[in-house]
């Protein structure tokens, strides 16, 4: 059984709203073994496909959807956005956006930031999103691009949950990467991401970007590198699994 780090529900606040369940996972629970021990939800890392399928079934159950109703992205560390009208695999995408009921949008990471957005649209059903953001995604502006997309679709009230990622102290990088962050992002974002000398704190940058857009965030989990018992980290372990975040909207007006 996959155990979430945290879970919750975005509850209706406007006439057209529907509830959306969300959950953030680490490596707690799950069926994987060896270097993938725990709740690995990634198919591409070398884990047993049948075991990963069981973990994904458990992940889907956390938000009350069927395992075959997941939308999974294959990010390319850019700002590409997929409009999701059905479950499936979305290759080359860094963000998933949908207004479909009972489809679980999933973002994964093993040091990068997984996050979700829920946008209320007044008399229309809400729009939801799952985003994968590493340092390249911060440079490409995937979070800002997704917020713009949600607002173009009518979202006026947006809420967020941000999952675990590596901290700036544990993610030392070459100076050219820091310079890309400095030149490509708003000053508030770059100052947050580059607060630790020699490192990049992508999650701090993401949270600053969300704050600039007036979006409040629930933050779940600590540094992936520092928490080997509860979180996967690619920088720490090399071959390893992936944790993630999932959101699914439900047609039922009541809380699922």
pLDDT of residue 175: 96
β-strand partners of 91 = 74
Residue spans of beta strands (DSSP E) within the chain? 2-10, 20-29, 70-74, 81-84, 88-91, 95-98, 104-109, 113-121, 124-133, 157-162, 216-219, 243-249
Give the other-Cβ count within 10 Å of 210's Cβ: 22
| CATH number given to 2-158+219-249 | 3.60.140.10
Direct distance between the N- and C-terminal alpha carbons of the chain, in angstroms, rounded to an integer:
20
Q: How far is CA 71 from CA 2, 74, 196, 205, in A?
A: 18, 10, 35, 26
Q: What is the pTM of this model?
A: 0.95
Residue 155: closest CA among 98, 224, 86: 98
pLDDT of residue 134: 96
Q: How far is CA 34 from the centre of its chain?
A: 25
pLDDT of residue 256: 45
Per-residue pLDDT of the chain in tens (256 residues, 90 and over written 9): 899 999 999 988 888 899 999 999 999 999 999 999 999 999 999 999 999 999 999 999 999 999 999 999 998 999 999 999 999 999 999 999 999 999 999 999 999 999 999 999 998 999 999 999 999 999 999 999 999 999 999 998 999 999 999 999 999 999 999 999 999 999 999 999 999 999 999 999 999 999 999 999 999 999 999 999 999 999 999 999 999 999 999 987 644 4
Question: Domain spans of the chain?
Answer: 2-158+219-249
């Amino acid at each position: 059984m996959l155990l979430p780090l945290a879970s919750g529900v975005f509850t209706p606040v406007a006439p057209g709203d529907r509830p959306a369940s969300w959950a953030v996972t680490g490596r707690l629970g799950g069926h994987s073994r060896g270097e993938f021990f725990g709740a690995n939800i990634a198919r591409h890392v070398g884990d047993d496909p049948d075991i990963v399928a069981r973990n994904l079934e458990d992940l889907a159950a956390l938000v009350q959807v069927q395992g075959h109703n997941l939308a999974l992205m294959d990010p390319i560390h850019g700002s590409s956005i997929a409009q999701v009208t059905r479950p499936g695999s979305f290759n080359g995408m860094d963000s998933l956006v949908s207004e479909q009921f009972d489809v679980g949008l999933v973002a994964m990471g093993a040091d990068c930031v997984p996050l979700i957005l829920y946008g209320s649209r007044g008399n229309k059903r809400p729009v939801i999103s799952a985003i994968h953001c590493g340092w390249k995604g911060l440079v490409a502006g995937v979070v800002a691009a997704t917020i713009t997309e949600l607002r173009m679709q009518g979202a006026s009230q947006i809420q967020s949950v941000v999952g675990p990622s590596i901290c700036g102290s544990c993610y030392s990088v070459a100076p050219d990467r820091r310079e890309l962050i400095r030149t490509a992002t708003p000053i508030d974002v770059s100052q947050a991401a580059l607060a630790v000398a020699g490192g990049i704190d992508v999650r701090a940058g993401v949270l600053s970007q969300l704050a600039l857009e007036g979006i409040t965030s629930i933050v779940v989990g600590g540094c992936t590198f520092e928490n080997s018992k509860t979180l996967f980290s690619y920088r720490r372990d090399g071959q390893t699994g992936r944790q993630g975040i999932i959101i699914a909207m439900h047609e039922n007006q009541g809380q699922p």
